[in-house]
Amino acid sequence: MTRNEYIRHLLLSVGTNLAMLALRLLRNVLLARILGPADRGLFALLSALPELIGAVTSGGLNTAVGYQAARQHPMGLLLTLMLLYGCLASALATLLGLQALDAFGQELAITRQLGPFAALLLLAVPLFVLKSALFTLHNADGRVGTFNGLRLLESLTPLLLFLALFWMWPHAALNAALISWLGGLGLVVAVGLCLLARYHSIRLRWDPASQGQLLRFGGRSHPDVLFQQLLMRADYLLIELFLGSEALGYYAMATAAAELLFIVPEAVTTPLMKRLLQQGEGIEQLTPLALRLTGTAMLLACLGMALIGEWLIVLLFGDAFRPAYPALLALLPGIFSLCYSSILHLDLLGKERPGALSLFAGGAAALNLLLAVLLIPSWGIVGAAIASSVAYGALALAMLLLYWRVSGVDIGQTLLILPSDLRLLRAQLGTAI
């Protein structure tokens, strides 16, 4: 992929992500205003648990199938391994976990909060694992348009289902939100499988040699994915433990507002995933370009969110969620750091450094947990946000230093946009218009 081709793909991905941003924002607004802080916190907890459970059971496998798909391994084989070692393993782990909670954890706060809704995880977890695998396979295969279409469907379907169900059951808003969430996952999985079958044979197949190779790579990547999820979502569990569902509802809105800014790194990495995993000629120019564009755009986006964040929270989510603003401010430095991590993670995976990535993610997750336990009792959700930002920044710095060491690219060439980049962007925008 040349620089010009990358810029064209980038502009297309930006358009797709803007549409996704609007849909996600509308859904978050409706959920916040209709559910209120307590039920919104419970919904956030249920939505976060499949990510954590999936990371524990099969996170490294998802990375491995993406790596192999970028190198043109048969999709039927990769899908077989994902169904067996991903979906089935995660479903069994969820079942065992629920049985353990029922037998030994009746007095735990999280058990009381989840209540009968915990059983939904038996469906949500394997669906989430398969959905993530399908997204990875399509993007690693270079099907950027298909990947973007599935992401749009993922954003649109739960919104439409929630509106329809809430219209029918106005006094069961939480039930409507949960059903629409699960229905959206199911539809995206079905469409993703159909589209994969359109481009490849997805007949299930078994190859012990390839299975061993994939599982070894997945095993090396697994700690990285697990620690990444702990880094991103352990704060939800700790806030629920220390402060309760209402505080988690405020924090969920702060993170929802901050994570809307992920449109920037998502737009950059979507057309680059296959190229970064394959590496090859020109990669030492392409990766710094992507880092510079992302860092500059994210810096401007974070400054803008800091200025209008409180007004935006009150306008969109209601005055009841005003306490989320201080946590949003504390999260922004960390969100800015993550924009570099998302690109460097793919590049370093392509350079076959999964072990180092696991070590970095583990250190960041441990730092986050330590700081969160120390800060949340005194500072509340702001303490959780500070802990996350410090850990995100430490992770990004470690990745930048490793990238500089293995690539020889000066760190100054990776941070902010250069005049030559502006000329290239102007030329590409002129061509597009």
pLDDT at 8: 62
For residue 199, with 0-12 CB atoms within 10 Å meaning exposed, 13-18 middle and 19 or more buried, which class applies? middle
The distance from CA 288 to its chain's CA centroid, rounded to whole angstroms, is: 22
The pLDDT tens digits for 30-46 are 888 888 877 877 888 88
The pLDDT tens digits for 370-428 are 999 999 998 999 999 999 999 999 999 998 888 888 877 777 777 777 666 666 555 54
Give ∠ CA 30-35-41 in degrees, rounded to 5: 110
Measured CA to CA, the distance from residue 267 to residue 405 in angstroms comes to 27
Six-digit token string for 300? 């401007």
DSSP state of 200: S
Query: What does 73-139 look like in DSSP terms, one character per residue?
Result: --HHHHHHHIIIIIIIHHHHHHHHHHHHHHHH-TTSHHHHHHGGGGGGHHHHHHHHHHHHHHHHHHH
Single out the residue of 213, 84, 208, 62 nearest to residue 138, CA to CA.
62
If one compares 70 and 347, the residue with the highest pLDDT of the two is 347
Per-chain mean pLDDT for the chain: 80
- Contact between residue 120 and residue 46 where contact means Cβ atoms under 8 Å apart: yes
Q: How many CB atoms are closer than 10 A to CB 190? A: 11
| Amino acid code (one letter) for 94 | T
If one compares 421 and 26, the residue with the highest pLDDT of the two is 26
Question: 410 Cβ partners below 8 Å, 6+ apart?
Answer: 404
Average pLDDT (110-121) is 77
Measured CA to CA, the distance from residue 353 to residue 403 in angstroms comes to 10
Single out the residue of 277, 260, 389, 406 nearest to residue 337, CA to CA.
389
Single out the residue of 260, 266, 337, 343 nearest to residue 304, CA to CA.
260
For residue 103, with 0-12 CB atoms within 10 Å meaning exposed, 13-18 middle and 19 or more buried, which class applies? exposed
Single out the residue of 195, 184, 187, 139 nearest to residue 162, CA to CA.
184
Place of tokens 């059951």: 169
What is the dihedral angle through the alpha carbons of 251, 390, 60, 12, rounded to the nearest 10 degrees?
A: 70
Measured CA to CA, the distance from residue 132 to residue 55 in angstroms comes to 11
The pLDDT tens digits for 155-214 are 899 999 999 999 998 888 889 999 999 999 999 999 998 998 888 877 777 767 667 777
pLDDT at 282: 63
- Contact between residue 27 and residue 256 where contact means Cβ atoms under 8 Å apart: no
Least confident of 70-84, 165-179, 294-308, 319-333: 70-84
Residues 188, 191, 195, 200: is their CA dihedral positive or negative?
positive
pLDDT at 372: 92
Query: What does 268-284 look like in DSSP terms, one character per residue?
Result: HHGGGHHHHHH--TTHH
